[in-house]
Amino acid sequence: MKISEVQEKILKLKKEQDICILAHSYQSREIVEIADYTGDSFQLSLMAQKTPQKKVIMCGVRFMAETVKILSPEKTVILANPEAGCPMAEQMDKQMIESIKKDFPDYTVVAYINTTAELKTVCDVCVTSSSAVKIVNAIDNKNILFIPDCNLGDYVAKQVKDKNIKLLHGGCPIHAGISVKEAKDAKAKYPDALLLVHPECIPGVVAEADYVGSTSGIMDYASKSDAKEFIIGTEMSIAEHLQYAYPEKKFHILSKKLICVNMKITSLVDVLNSLKGAGGEEINLDETTIRDARKCIDEMIRLG
């Protein structure tokens, strides 16, 4: 079957069954084309609440599908490919953070949204890359334990100087794998281009950037900028989506290593099978997990 034929089947079934398809911007072109909404982690979590459909298919990674379920427990939430996990989300677990909290009883625990539902139950507030600085600023406590991404945490700490921010050793293996040399080499290769990077990159790479922001922040910046050439320092799908949207501008990838296999594991056929009830995985969380994890997501929405 051709890609366009699978897409047609998906669009037909989706309409007949009144199902909403959400896709993170790191998904491939052919999935973004059939999605009802595409966005970064924060936009998807808000969209999950707004969408009127009773069933949602998530094309992204597991923590994103869990976030939809936490925010809309009455909805049926399907993760299109059950193998799609985020390695960073699984780096720390509930027991580890509960034990660290004993040593830092007066700290507010800030969890990047890239964490499991179970881990969120023992945290105080969530952040996404687009809201982290604003939310940490707004927290009514000087002492912050920021988990799990020490690179995003370092970026936040540099913007929010009046807080005492403790970091742990976690992070995104894809973004954190980019070296300062690669950033410098890309700038030398494309001297007229602006370097736009995600704050999950290491501090030395962030320091080389002309702009630092979330997935949607990078896309907005590139769309509004008068510049004509950009080096994209986040998952390489973003360069591809931008190139389609703005053919008159030039987008280079910062490194060929910037590909998240977990984000790319979902195929159109997975989406089709999820619609047919022959694939995907329904996300089920118990009531206590939903209630406790929701507190820190609600706090994110309140402070953001």
Segment near ligand SF4 (CB under 6 A), from 50-58, 171-179, 211-219, 281-289?
171-179
The interface partner of residue 204, options being ligand 13P, ligand SF4, none and the CB cut-off 5 to 8 Å by kind, is none
Is there binding between residue 214 and ligand 13P (CB under 6 A)?
Answer: yes
283-291 contacts at long range (C-beta below 8 A, 24 or more positions apart): 283/62, 283/65, 283/66, 283/68, 283/69, 283/77, 283/78, 283/79, 284/69, 285/66, 285/69, 285/70, 285/73, 285/117, 287/73, 288/121, 289/117, 289/118, 289/121, 290/69, 290/70, 290/73, 290/117
Q: Is 66 in the site for ligand 13P (CB under 6 A)?
A: no
**Do 163 and 188 contact (CB within 8 A), yes or no?**
no
126 touching ligand SF4, by CB under 6 A: no
Pick one of 25, 67, 114, 121: the residue that binds ligand SF4 (CB under 6 A): 114
- Give the range of 124-132, 150-158, 166-174, 184-192 binding ligand SF4 by CB under 6 A: 166-174
Under the criterion CB under 6 A, does residue 262 sit at the interface with ligand SF4? yes
Q: Which is nearer to ligand 13P, 128 or 289 (CB)?
A: 128
> Residues 102-141 vs ligand 13P: string with x where CB under 6 A?
------------x-------------xxx-----------
Q: According to the binding rule CB under 6 A, does residue 260 interact with ligand SF4?
A: yes
Using rule CB under 6 A, residue 25 touches ligand SF4: no
Q: How far is the CB of 68 from ligand 13P (least distance, A)?
A: 14
Smaller CB separation from ligand 13P, 23 or 272: 23
Contacts for 200 with CB less than 8 Å, ≥ 6 apart: 129, 149, 151, 152, 171, 172, 174, 175, 176, 234
Q: Closest separation between CB of residue 261 and ligand 13P, Å? A: 12
> Is-cis flag, bond preceding 148, omega within 30?
yes
Taken in order 51, 55, 61, 67, the sign of the CA dihedral is positive
Between 64 and 145, CB nearer to ligand SF4: 64
Convert 17-38 to b/e letters by CB count within 10 Å (16 or more is b). eebbbbbbbbbbeebbbbbebb
- Site for ligand SF4, rule CB under 6 A: 61, 86-88, 114, 172-175, 235, 260, 262-263
